Structure 1
C-alpha cells in the first residue's frame, strides 16, 4: 500500500502536529509492504535521516503525480492548499483534526464553514478528542493522541519538588495562574511549595515580575526552553503537573507526558484536557482561580486520592501508547484504501 501523507508543517519544525506526523509516517513505513511519502510546505531538511521520502514545498504538477502514485491520502490536519487536487483525482482520503475549525462558542466564519463542509467528502475523519468531534465534526472517529514513552517515563529519581508547568509562556496557557496558586498556598498553608516553569515566550518578563512582587523567587524556578529529555527529568522530580489553560486545548499531550513521569495532573476543564487526564488527575473550572486553588488544596490534603490517581495512570497511559494509537490510524487507512 502506498500512503501519501500531507502535513502542512513537518520535521525539523517542532510542534504537536509535526510530532504526530513524524510518528505516524515512521510507524506506517515500518509495516510490511507499505511505502510512505510525506508532502509538506516546510523547506528545511533537518539532520535526522528519515526512512521515507519527504517532498518539500512541491509544485502542483509534483502533487498531481504523487496523487496518481498513491493508493490512499492521509492529511494530518486539513491541508486543503496542498491536497485540493485530490478532489479531482479522487483517491481514497482520510483527515485527522488536531485543532478547532472555529473556536467553541464562537460563530464560524464563511471559510470555516466551507472547511467543515468539505470534511463530508472524506472516507474517514479522525478527531483527537471528544470535544473536537463534538464541536467540529460529529461524524468523526475519536483517536486520542499518544506520547513518547521512550522519553517520558518514571525513573528512580526522588520526587523532592512539588509543581511543574510546561508550555509556551503566553497568557492563554495560564502560567500566571500557577504563580497566583503558589501565592495563595503560602497564605493558607504553613508549607512552602516549589514551582518549576518550563518554557519560554513573550510573557516571561511579566511572570518574573509577578514572582518578585509576591516574594516567591526562592520557590519558583524559570527553566526556559528544555529538550524533551530534560523536561522528563524535571517532571520526575515533581509530584504534580499544572495545566491551567485558559483556552480550550484540543487535547493536551503534556498531560500524558507528566503522568508517565509520575506526576498527578491538575488541569482546567476546557476542550480536550479532561479526555487527556481521564480518571488519573484532577479537573478544575477553567479561568477560575477559586476552583484551581480549591481542587489543588483538596488533592494536597488527600493522600488516598493521590495514590488512587497514580494507580489509575497506568491503565490510562496504556490506551495512549504510540503502537496503540498508530494502529488505530492505520486500520482506518487500510479500510479506506479498500473502498
Structure 2
C-alpha cells in the first residue's frame, strides 16, 4: 500500500503547527512507546490518550534517568496503558493491559514439501547480549556435535563465533541475513529454534515466527520471552548453560515433549494473528474514547 492508496495520512517530521492542528482534530491520542516531545501538546488540548509500551522505560544499561521518571508519571495520566508482555507490565506500569505482539501470519507458516531435519538453529543479530556464545558452548555438550549448528543472521562477532566453535569442536553453518520466503524456507528445515538471549527481551517475535514455521522453540526465561513462548515452547534459565544443555537433550530424548508442545502452538499463535491483535487495540481505544465521552456528558436527574 503506497501513500496515495492509504485510507489515512502520514506526516513525517511535521512542523509544530501541523502537530497542533492534528491534536485539535483528533478524538484520541495514541502513542507506540512514550515520546514526550510529541505528547506535550496534550497539555493544551487535554485529549484522552493511550500509550503502548514496547520496550523498557529505562536506559539500555538498565538505569532510570530523569526522562524515564517523567515518562512513568505520564503513564499515570493515560486513559489506558498497554504492555506487550507481563515483564514490561511489571517493570513499567502494573495497571497496564497486556497485548502481545502480532506476527506476519501470511508469511511465516509451515511449507509441507520441505524436509525438516533434526537440526538446531539460531535467528537474530550476532551480538553478545543475544547469547550466541552460550548456545555454541551448550551445543558442544550435546549428542549433535556431528551436525552443524545453523546461525541465521550477521554481525561483527561472526569471526569470534567461528573461532569459539573450532575451539569447542563443533561446526557452524552460517546463512547470512535471510528475509521473506528465504527465511521461511530455512526455518522450515529445522527441528529446534533456540533463543538464548542474555538480555531481557521485551517480547520476542522470533519465537512466534519460529513456531509458525514448525520449529520447536527453546528460549531463555528472561523478560518477555516466556510470554512469547507460552505453552507452545520451552524455556531455560537465562544464562545457564547447564539448563540449556539439559533442555535440548530433554526435547530429543522425550517424544511426548514434542507432541505436547505442538498441540499448543495453533492456539498460541491464534492470539497473535494481526487482525486479532488489531481488534484488541481497537477495543482499548474505543473504551478510552467512550470513557472520556461519558465523563463529559452532563448528569441527568
Partners of 2:119 and 2:192 within 8 A in 1:
yes
**Are the equivalent residues in 2 in contact too, given 1:161–1:194 (CA < 8 A)?**
no
> How far did 1:70 drift?
1.5
Q: Distance in 1 between matches of 2:10 and 2:276?
A: 25
Structure 2, gaps ≥5 residues long: 293-301
Q: Residues 190 and 59 from structure 1, CA distance in 2 versus in 1: closer, same or farther, beyond 3 angstroms? A: closer
Q: Does 1:125 align with 2:81?
A: yes
Instruction: Verify: 1:97 aligned to 2:53, yes or no.
Output: yes
Question: Is contact 2:148-2:170 (8 Å) kept?
Answer: no
Q: Does 1:330 align with 2:282?
A: yes
Which of these residues, 226, 229, 232, is aligned with residue 280 of structure 1? 232
Alignment-derived partner of residue 170 in structure 1: 127
Question: Of the candidates 237, 248, 264, which is equivalent to residue 312 of structure 1?
Answer: 264
SS class of match (1:266):
strand
Larger relative strand fraction? 1
In the alignment, is residue 292 of structure 1 matched against residue 244 of structure 2?
Answer: yes
Distance in structure 2 (CA, Å) of the matches to 1:209 and 1:255: 27
State the 1:180 CA deviation. 1.4
**Structure 2 residue 208 is matched with structure 1 residue 256:** yes
Question: Is the contact between residue 126 and residue 143 of structure 1 (CA under 8 Å) also seen in structure 2?
Answer: yes
- CA deviations 1:243-287 (Å, max 9, x no partner) are 010011111011011011111111111001111111111111101
8 A Cα contact 1:104 1:135, kept in partner? no
- Larger RCO (CA under 8 A, 6+ residues apart): 2
Matches within 5 A, 1:209-288: 209-217=163-171, 220-288=172-240
How many residue pairs end up in the alignment? 290
Supply the distance in 1 between the matched residues of 2:44 and 2:154 (Cα, whole angstroms).
Answer: 44
1:320–1:201 Cα change, 3 Å: same
Q: Which has the larger radius of gyration?
A: 2
Is the 1:153–1:261 Cα contact (8 Å) retained in structure 2?
Answer: yes
Other structure's SS at 1:275 match: helix
Secondary structure of 1:223 counterpart? strand
CA positional deviation for 1:54: 1.2
Q: In the alignment, is the contact (CA less than 8 A) between 1:279 and 1:309 conserved in 2?
A: yes
- Please report how far the alpha carbon of residue 182 of structure 1 lies from its aligned counterpart in structure 2 after TM superposition: 2.0
Looking at structure 2, the residues matched to 192 and 256 of structure 1 have their Cα atoms a distance apart, in angstroms, of: 28
Aligned 8 A contact 1:132 1:271 in 2? yes
Q: TM-score, normalised by structure 1?
A: 0.81
Specify whether residues 154 and 48 from structure 1 end up closer, same or farther in structure 2 by C-alpha distance, changes over 3 A only: farther
Unaligned stretches of 5+ residues in structure 1 = 1-25, 27-45
